């Protein structure tokens, strides 16, 4: 195995992690081995599409067989809603990213964090200063990196101009946004983070008053809660698990939102302050006009446990990939701190 690793310039520990069933001193002729080549799976310089997501999941699963891969369901256009789980603990942390189409950079961040965490677990190292093996044994980290794959495909240009899907979305672009870059909703025009049964009627009232009364690029709440399959899938995934804490990733603003309405779950402020300290993002109360029917709102109301919305990066979405390193540097410590907090809960 050492010779094989050397031949491909691969790291021996990485080869061993990818092939837990193989005896490194007694390889059998004809058996197949996975040899991780010396580069990372998740790129930092390519926009996240449904296709790139599938390739990243496939690559990570091959390199780190202890990562569990599943699906929470499918998008309106049949794209897989991939979920990865890492860890053995009874307690779990849930991270979801990119409910909003033009916030796909958060999904890329989530995948990059997943890869670095897997790498740390496999090599017995640290993740942002925390012992990865300890976190792994105490917490199950559940991550859904791309809640809105069709929307991300539209915004990134993976759905080609002139195609039926592109033209259908363009026809719905009212009130108009820069197209397709300003698109936030799913590809059928429902805002996936205004779909949860927590003050949905209130969200509807606010958004209708603002003029968002029908399917469009942003802020349409849908005909009823949980009508969009993507939001329904996140809801069902949450019901099927017992998450201690949730992190919902959005762009932008460099802020952590922690409250829903009058709800204040035990330790939610203290925990929020720790996440704020880890990232350098201030802890704030969600603005009134976007304070209802979001995933975090529903999670807090339904479970009385801490749930946060993190607005990563700064500027107008979609944020350019030149912000990726900055976003990673602020948010990897936040997610690692959340894992540590859940491990001690
Ligand atoms: Zn958002």
For the chain, domains (ranges, CATH) are: 1-39 (no CATH), 46-345 (3.40.630.10)
- Residues 296-341 have pLDDT tens digits of 999 999 999 999 999 999 999 999 999 999 999 999 999 999 999 9
CA distance linking residue 34 with residue 280, whole number of Å? 39
Rounded average pLDDT over 50-79 = 98
Q: Using the mean position of ligand 1's atoms as its centre, give its distance from the Cα of residue 343 in Å.
A: 28
Residue 122 has a pLDDT of 95
Q: Considering the candidates 260, 292, 295, 308, report the single residue annotated as catalytic.
A: 292
Query: Residue 11: its pLDDT value, please?
Result: 93
pLDDT of the residue at 72: 98
Question: What residues contact residue 36 under an 8 Å CB cut-off, 6+ apart?
Answer: 10, 11, 14, 15, 18, 62, 63
Q: What is the pLDDT of residues 232-270, one digit of tens each?
A: 999 999 999 999 999 999 999 999 999 999 999 999 999
Mean pLDDT lowest among 20-24, 146-150, 339-343: 20-24
Share of the chain above pLDDT 90, in %: 96
Which residue in the list 103, 115, 230, 311 is annotated as catalytic? 311
* Ligand 1 centroid – CA 38 distance (Å): 34
250 alpha carbon – ligand 1 mean position (Å): 4
69 CA distance to ligand 1 middle (Å): 25
Confidence class for position 22, pLDDT limits 50, 70, 90: very high
How far away, in angstroms, is 128 Cα from ligand 1 center? 26
pLDDT of amino acid 258: 97
For the question of whether the overall pTM of this predicted structure is more than 0.85, the answer is: yes
Q: How far apart are CA 66 and CA 88, in angstroms?
A: 10
311 is catalytic: yes
Tell me how far the alpha carbon of residue 171 lies from the centroid of ligand 1, in angstroms: 22
The CA 6 to ligand 1 mean position distance, Å, reads 45
Taking the centre of ligand 1 as the mean of its atom positions, its distance from the CA of residue 98, in whole angstroms, is 7
* Residue 188 · residue 76 · CB < 8 Å: yes
Give tens-digit pLDDT for 63-77: 999 999 999 999 999
pLDDT level of residue 156 (50, 70, 90 thresholds): very high
Expressed in angstroms and rounded, the spacing between residue 208 Cα and the centre of ligand 1 is 18
């Amino acid at each position: 195995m050492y010779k094989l690793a050397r031949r491909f310039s691969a790291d021996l520990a990485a080869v061993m992690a990818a092939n837990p069933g193989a005896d490194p001193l007694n390889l059998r002729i004809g058996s197949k081995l996975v040899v991780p080549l010396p580069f990372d799976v998740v790129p930092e310089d390519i926009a996240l599409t449904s296709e790139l997501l599938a390739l990243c999941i496939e690559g990570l699963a091959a390199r780190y067989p202890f990562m569990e891969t599943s699906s929470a369901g499918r998008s309106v256009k049949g794209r897989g809603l991939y979920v990865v789980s890492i860890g053995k603990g009874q307690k779990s942390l849930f991270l979801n990213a990119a409910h909003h189409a033009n916030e796909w950079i958060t999904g890329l961040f989530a995948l990059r964090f997943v890869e670095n965490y897997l790498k740390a677990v496999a090599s017995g190292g640290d993740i942002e200063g925390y012992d990865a093996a300890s976190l792994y044994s105490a917490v199950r980290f559940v991550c859904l990196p791309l809640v809105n794959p069709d929307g991300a495909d539209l915004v990134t240009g993976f759905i080609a101009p002139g195609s039926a899907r592109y033209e259908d979305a363009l026809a719905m672009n009212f009130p108009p946004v820069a197209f397709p870059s300003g698109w936030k909703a799913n590809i059928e025009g429902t805002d996936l983070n205004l779909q949860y049964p927590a003050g949905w009627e209130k969200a509807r009232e606010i958004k209708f008053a603002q003029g968002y009364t029908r399917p469009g690029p942003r802020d349409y709440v849908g005909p009823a809660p949980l009508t969009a399959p993507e939001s329904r899938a996140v809801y069902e995934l949450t019901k099927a698990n017992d998450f201690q804490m949730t992190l919902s990733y959005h762009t932008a603003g460099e802020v952590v939102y922690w409250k829903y309405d009058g709800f204040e779950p035990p330790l939610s402020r203290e925990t929020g302050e720790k996440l704020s300290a880890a990232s350098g993002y201030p802890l704030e109360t969600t603005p009134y006009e976007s304070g209802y029917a979001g995933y975090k709102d529903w999670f807090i109301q339904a479970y009385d446990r801490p749930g946060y919305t993190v607005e990563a990066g700064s500027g107008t979405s979609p944020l350019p990939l030149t912000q990726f390193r900055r976003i990673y540097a602020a948010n990897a410590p936040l997610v690692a701190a959340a894992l540590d907090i859940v491990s001690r809960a």
